Amino acid sequence: GESVGLHLPTLSVQEGDNSIINCAYSNSASDYFIWYKQESGKGPQFIIDIRSNMDKRQGQRVTVLLNKTVKHLSLQIAATQPGDSAVYFCAELAAGNKLTFGGGTRVLVKP
Amino acid sequence: GAVVSQHPSWVICKSGTSVKIECRSLDFQATTMFWYRQFPKQSLMLMATSNEGSKATYEQGVEKDKFLINHASLTLSTLTVTSAHPEDSSFYICSASRSNEQFFGPGTRLTVL
């Protein structure tokens, strides 16, 4: 079946630096992607989304890039803060409004 | 707006007993809710789609007789883990759908002894 996967399981970043989290997807027909942040013991929290008719979308300190040619998605966090420490998931919206989650990347912010 | 709650937030039960987890959309109506399971250090896996007033749709490999889902109202879906076993210990997360956007609950940690 189709899947969404990540390249890096853990990312350590110095406070104040930028973070980049990557995600590969395999369903070329996918047209909507979402990034979630999950803190320990909590449910996923929406960060930002992007549709396939876009290649970049910016939010507050976050930017999502979509490269449909290589089926790659990335999340950039600017000026990473301790509160950004969490696990980040990309997700793909499929038929029936179902979400398929990637494997997750843990971001550890070092002071 | 778009707040989803779950109850209980954690539960410990003995093997063989049944456990019910509630998912509520507090400030909106949700005709569709989703149930996910997440094992430690793993991703969320969709278990089933819960539709108000109709039977739930289960993902492949999820036993419908073991994981009973009831979506009796537009703001409440319940997941009952029947005859729970230690391998059912996991983090169960629900989401409620509004305008094709999913809002997640805080999760329920189930530990089966």
Q: What is the DSSP string of A61-72?
A: SEEEEEETTTTE
CA dihedral sign of residues A69, A102, B65, B30: negative
Classify the phi-psi angles of B107: left when phi > 0, otherwise alpha if psi is within -120 to 50, otherwise beta: left
Q: To the nearest 10°, the Cα dihedral for A21, A103, B19, B5?
A: 30
Tokens of A6: 């990540």
pLDDT digit string (tens) for B24-50?
999 999 989 999 999 988 999 999 999
Interface test with B, best of A6, A37, A38 (most B CBs within 10 A): A38
Instruction: Give me the tens of pLDDT residue by residue for chain A, a chain 111 residues long.
Output: 344 654 448 999 999 999 999 999 888 888 999 999 999 999 999 999 999 999 999 999 999 999 999 999 999 999 999 999 999 999 999 888 899 999 899 999 999
> Would you say B11 and B108 are in contact if contact means Cβ atoms under 8 Å apart?
yes
In this prediction, residue A53 carries a pLDDT of: 94
* C-alpha B109: how far from chain center: 11
Contacts of B32 in chain A (CB under 8 A): 97
Q: In sequence order, what are the residues at sequence separation of 6 or more whose Cβ sits closer than 8 angstroms to the Cβ of residue A92? A: A2, A4, A25, A27, A30, A32, A33, A34, A99, A100
B98 inside 8 A of chain A by CB: no
CA dist B5 and B95 (Å) reads 9
CB contact under 8 A, A97 and B32: yes
In this prediction, residue A7 carries a pLDDT of: 46
B35 inside 8 A of chain A by CB: no
3-class secondary-structure state, position B78 = strand
pLDDT digit string (tens) for B62-108?
999 999 999 989 999 999 999 999 999 999 999 999 887 899 999 99
CB contact under 8 A, B49 and A89: no
Contacts of A42 in chain B (CB under 8 A): 106-107
Q: ∠B46-A89-A81 over CA atoms, to 5°? A: 145
B106 class by beta-carbon count within 10 Å (0-12 exposed, 13-18 middle, 19+ buried):
middle
**Nearest residue to A30 via CA among A57, A61, A3, A59:** A3
In this prediction, residue A97 carries a pLDDT of: 86
